[in-house]
Amino acid sequence: MISILIPTYNYTVTKLVKTLYNQAIKQKVPFEIIVLDDGSSNEDIHAENKEINKLEQCHYFESTKNKGRSLARGYLAEKASYDWLLFLDADVMPKDERFIENYIQHIQTSTSEVVSGGIVYDKSKPSKEKMLRWEYGRKREAKSAILRSKTPYFIVTGNLLIKKEIFQKINTVTDNLYGEDLVLSQHIKDKKLSVSHIENPVVHLGLESSTEFLKKSLQAVENIYIFEKNNELTQDFTKLQQTYVTYKPVMPVLTFFTKATKTFIIKNLLSQKPSLFLFDIYKLYQYTTLKRNA
């Protein structure tokens, strides 16, 4: 019936696995939970995660090298025994005690090939050092099923149900590149796969620091450019790309002012009240610079 697949890196997932296991057992359907440690360096985390093997129908594997989420998911899909794959990030927790039941019901009643359950964030403010990730998550990622359905092909693999045969055809990224979900989304759109967005969210728990998130976000911008060059993304697939195409004639002006205020922008993004408008401007500046220097 369903293989629940979790790639992890330097993160303890025993609580998540036990929660999923207890929910799945109640459904009385064939299932398995497979975890792959993608080259973690923390031996204490290794030891704790190995406890997963003590649960029936649960398996824990370790990679000696960090290969990235795309290859890790590919490995997990190969190991999977069932036709449906439920991918979850390591740093999440089901919001609802009927989380697995909701997905099982959807499998049994829907003809969709891809199902996205959504993601939410804790309402409590984190420390100043994590405000950018929290603000971005709440305002950009935590969307209702209705809102997500308006752009159906944008999916997040941190909570994704998909048919195994389809995933193995569209999981094409082999490099360890942040933002590979976009390529998966592009393939889903190109193949016109049937996608359902439902209210079955996970709570995202692992907030990076603003400094780390900014670094990853700028890397994602660079990867969008790389995916474009490799013809893995069309040049108008993301909102960032669309904005660039629409306002291309005035990009030199934006570049000039952003470069002049770069220190101020970064200071704001790392502050207690980061501006997502400035965050967008800064990413657009980075993308424009890459396009101009091509």
pLDDT digits (tens, 9 = 90+) for 147-189: 999 999 999 889 999 999 999 999 887 666 677 789 899 999 9
Mean pLDDT, the chain, rounded, equals 92
118: left (phi over 0), alpha (psi -120 to 50) or beta: left
Residue-range domains of the chain with CATH: 2-206 (3.90.550.10), 211-292 (no CATH)
What pLDDT is stored for residue 64 in this prediction?
A: 82
CB 102 within 8 A of CB 198: yes
CB 87 within 8 A of CB 35: no
pLDDT exceeds 90 at position 6: yes
**What is the rounded radius of gyration, in angstroms, for the C-alpha atoms of the chain?**
20
Which residue has better confidence, 70 or 5? 5
What pLDDT is stored for residue 18 in this prediction?
A: 97
State mean pLDDT over 121-132: 94
What pLDDT is stored for residue 294 in this prediction?
A: 65
Identify the band that residue 67 occupies on the pLDDT scale cut at 50, 70 and 90: confident
Describe the crossing of helices 251-260 and 276-292 by its angle, rounded to 10 degrees.
120
What pLDDT is stored for residue 180 in this prediction?
A: 79
What pLDDT is stored for residue 293 in this prediction?
A: 79
**Share of residues in the chain with pLDDT > 70 (%):** 98
Tell me: the pLDDT tens digits for 226-263? Answer: 999 989 899 999 999 999 999 999 999 999 999 999 99
CA–CA distance, 240 with 249 (Å, rounded to integer): 15
What pLDDT is stored for residue 145 in this prediction?
A: 95
State mean pLDDT over 107-127: 93
What pLDDT is stored for residue 63 in this prediction?
A: 86
What pLDDT is stored for residue 237 in this prediction?
A: 92
State mean pLDDT over 57-80: 89
- For residue 57, give the nearest of 34, 74, 83, 28 by alpha carbon: 34
What pLDDT is stored for residue 175 in this prediction?
A: 67
pTM of the model: 0.92
CA–CA distance, 197 with 146 (Å, rounded to integer): 8
pLDDT exceeds 70 at position 203: yes
Identify the band that residue 71 occupies on the pLDDT scale cut at 50, 70 and 90: confident
